[in-house]
Each structure stands twice: as C-alpha cells, then as structure tokens.
Structure 1
Amino acid sequence: MNGAETDDAIMLPDPLEGDPRLPTYFGDSWAAVESFRRMLVDEGVLRGLVGPREVGRLWERHLLNSAAVVPFLPQTGVIVDLGSGAGLPGVVVAAMRPEAQVVLLEPMERRCSWLLEVVNELGLTNATVTRARAEDVHGSLTADAVTARAVAPLDRLYRWALPLLTSGGVLVALKGGRAADEVQAAGKVGKRLGAGQASIHAAHTIDGVDETTVVRVVREAVRGVR
C-alpha cells in the first residue's frame, strides 16, 4: 500500500456528516459550528491541529464533545478557554454562548494565528484571542468560568485555572475515564486555592454519541497560589 492509499484509508468520512439532528442540537450556533468544522477539515491536518484519523470523527470526538461543556457554563460573563489550541472547546463555546465574552488563551503563536482566522471567519464578535500562558495573566485576567480540554492533570490544572476565577467562578474541565482518580489526587491543591468539592458529570449530547465526562468545581474562596 502506498502513502496516498494509506492517507485515503485514514481520512474516512465522518459518519455524522449530514445527520439532521446536528442543526437541531446546535440551534442558532449551527452555522458557526458547521463552518468551524469545515475549516478544521480543510486546514486542521496541514497545520498540525488535528491528526488525520480525527478528520472523520470531528463531530463525535471533538465538536459534540466540546459542546457538552456548555450547559455547565454561565450564559453571560467572562469565560476563559485555557490552552485553546485548535479552538476546542473555546470556539464552540463562543458560538453557543453569544452573550458571554470568551477569551481563547493560548501560548503558541501559530495556534493563535489560527484562532484569529477562525474568529474572524466565523464572525465571533464575543471571542478574543490572547497569546499567553495562564500563569502570565494571573492577577490581570479574571473570569467567571474557565474551560479546559486535554490540557493537564487536574492538580496542575487547578494551579493554572483557579487563580483566574472570581469567588463563585467555575472550572469546567473535559476529562476521561480517570476523572475520579484525578479529582482525588488534586483535592489538597484545590483546597489550598479555595476550590469547593469537585463534581463529576456524564454529559449527553445526541443519542448514539458517547457521553462526555465533565469535572466541575467552584472556587468558593479566593486564595493565593502556594
């Protein structure tokens, strides 16, 4: 099998493409989310944002997975997407929470360039791109909510995300099968930073798509990083 045949075998069509449930699920955000998917299909692999095998499962593994966090987020206020990368979940959140101000926080220049293109192409006037690490903006950027997907284990994520939150702000992290172990391991760090008890949720999107594991924790008190 030559290289071209290998690529064709890897880049299979998305089984959810054309599914009539998708426009219904995304509602008013459908046009933006569908355009975002098309940009990822056209440019994602070339720019190193998604792997070739992910192109055929963008809806289930990435876009619906990202959308699963939205019910856990406030309708308004400032939402920071930590380590935004390709824009998952931040771009989806911005599309689905048009009354919130969404900050796509990303330290890598090439990814920031991509995010700026996406924001401009989709007309997401409620989204801004900030090139920085979380630690760089502690004390200067304050959020009502922080999202994170595939960024770091929860103990590290607490150190980066919790100082960004106001008292009463919420961290919503997409996690995998070891979520409970991460919650337990991060308990002491979270307590030092004012976090309440983390809760683990199985978030549903559409039938036939695996539920997304979401960890939600409220910052109950504002304390310094130690």
Structure 2
Amino acid sequence: MPDGVVPPEEFAAVAAQVFGDRLALASEYARLLVTDGVVRGLIGPREAPRIWERHLVNCAVMSEMIPNGASVLDVGSGAGLPGIVLAVARPDLTITLVEPLARRTAFLTEAVTALGLEAAVTVVRGRADEVVGGPAAGADVVTARAVAPLDRLAGWCLPLARVGGRLLALKGSSAADEADEHRAVIAELGGGEPVLRLCGTGLIDPPATVVEIVKERDVVPVRPKPSSRAEGPGRGAGSRTGGRGSGRGRSRRG
C-alpha cells in the first residue's frame, strides 16, 4: 500500500478518536488522496507522507464546532478538504462541495462514489457567487480552507449561510492578523465579530485554528452605476455575464 493510507503510529490514537468506527473509511480516502490525488495534481507529492497530520486530522477536528444534523457548504473544496473529511467523520451532516475546476469536481464526484457518501454529499461545480440563491445556499455552516484572505472569503461565504449560520475558516498563523485587519469589511458584509477558535486542543499540537464568523444579517450587494463611457453597444448592463452562460469552467476560484 502507498504511504499515508494507514495513520502513522504517532497519529493512530488521534485518528481513531476523531474518526471512530469510520477510521477505515478515512484510510480509504487517504489512499485516494495519495494515489489519484497526487497523479491529478490535487495533492503535492511531498504531502503524501504527512496526509494524516496536515490534512485529515487537521480538518476532522473542525467537526467539534458543527452541531448535529447541520447542513454544511464547503467552498473551494479542492480535493475535499475539509468537506469530505467532515462527511467521513460526521455521517449526521449534509454536505455540499462547491468547486469551480472540472478536474477537481471529477475527483470529488469519484471519491464520493468510491466512499459511499452519495446520500450525504453533493458536488457542485461552480464559483461561490453562482451558488447564491440556489438549493445549497442558506447553509447552517459554510467552511473553507486556505482559499483566500479573510475579507474575500467572507464576501464569498457569508451570502451562502443562513442568518444565524456561521462561516468556519480554517486558517494558519495569519488568522489573528487577518481578523483584526478585516473586521470592518466583515461587518459590512453582515458578519459578526470574527472569533478565533482552537480545535483539537489536547489531541494535536498545535491545535487547528478556525476563524468563526456568525452571519448576523443579509446584505444586498450594492452594484455601482455604469459610467456614461461604459454604456453602449456590447457594454453596459448585462455585458459582464453575457455570452458565458453559467460561468462554469472558469479557473478563478471563489
């Protein structure tokens, strides 16, 4: 078997605790990541030996912040981190994986089928702004991992949560600085005070850092009026989206 399928000895007890009786399913997902995930360029070859430490366990501990039976929307899901990990660790959750790139959604769809998660997980190809107003919007929890700075992340994710729902952004060492820097923008987007949470305390060192933002109100985006120079044949209202349909297949994330 490839390295990374079975959790290394130093993480075996933690993996067993966070995944419980679904540890074998997590191991199968690890196999997919270190084989097809690497071949398709979704996981770097150097990440394969530390797939449990840096990816699976690190994402799974987020589940302690998600209530039972919640609907979860994972933005920029990539290879399924943290969305598929949460689906494996928490079978009570209903999860939608949103990803704009075709090669990634193909992997996600195949992984969901291979892991038998079809009843709980839906894969949607598109950007976050294309999902607003759709059936997946109004989620209890919106998750994202290493997708963008916190201000842009809030702009993409908060419209997808219900009022009273939450954005859980898995961040690194920059989390506190980003929260301070973008507090005002988050408020303008309808979000509450960003709060740093540490997940997996006592299980992993260091714990996973998650920025939690509660959606306090809906915000209708203000669209700037076009200037007189922008109006005319082929420009003006509607020209930005004209002719590209749903916009799927564009590589810009978000």
Same fold (TM over 0.5): yes
DSSP 3-state at the match of 1:68: helix
Flag the structure with larger Rg.
2
Aligned to 1:53: 46
DSSP 3-state at the match of 1:104: strand
Are 1:43 and 2:39 matched, yes or no?
Answer: no
- With over 3 angstroms needed to count, the CA separation of the structure-2 counterparts of 1:212 and 1:27, relative to structure 1, is same
Could you tell me which of 205, 208, 214 is aligned with 1:218?
Answer: 214
**C-alpha displacement of 1:15:** 9.7
Aligned to 1:173: 169
**C-alpha displacement of 1:101:** 1.2
- With over 3 angstroms needed to count, the CA separation of the structure-2 counterparts of 1:29 and 1:206, relative to structure 1, is farther
**C-alpha displacement of 1:95:** 1.4
**C-alpha displacement of 1:24:** 3.2
How many pairs were matched up? Answer: 216
> Aligned partners of 1:15, 1:104: CA distance in 2, in Å?
25
Identity rate, percent: 44
Structure 2 counterpart of 1:90, which letter? G
Aligned to 1:112: 105
DSSP 3-state at the match of 1:45: helix
Superposition RMSD in Å: 2.0
Is this contact kept in 2: 1:153–1:182, CA < 8 A? yes
Alignment of 1:95-106 (within 5 A): 95-106=88-99
Structure 1 counterpart of 2:163, which letter? S
> Aligned partners of 2:41, 2:53: CA distance in 1, in Å?
20
Structure 1, unaligned runs of 5 or more: 1-10
Aligned to 2:233: none
Aligned to 1:200: 196
> Aligned partners of 1:182, 1:168: CA distance in 2, in Å?
22
Aligned to 2:8: 17
> Aligned partners of 1:56, 1:98: CA distance in 2, in Å?
26
Are 1:137 and 2:137 matched, yes or no?
Answer: no
Is this contact kept in 2: 1:14–1:55, CA < 8 A? no
**C-alpha displacement of 1:206:** 6.1
- With over 3 angstroms needed to count, the CA separation of the structure-2 counterparts of 1:13 and 1:97, relative to structure 1, is closer
Structure 2, unaligned runs of 5 or more: 223-254
> Aligned partners of 1:44, 1:103: CA distance in 2, in Å?
20
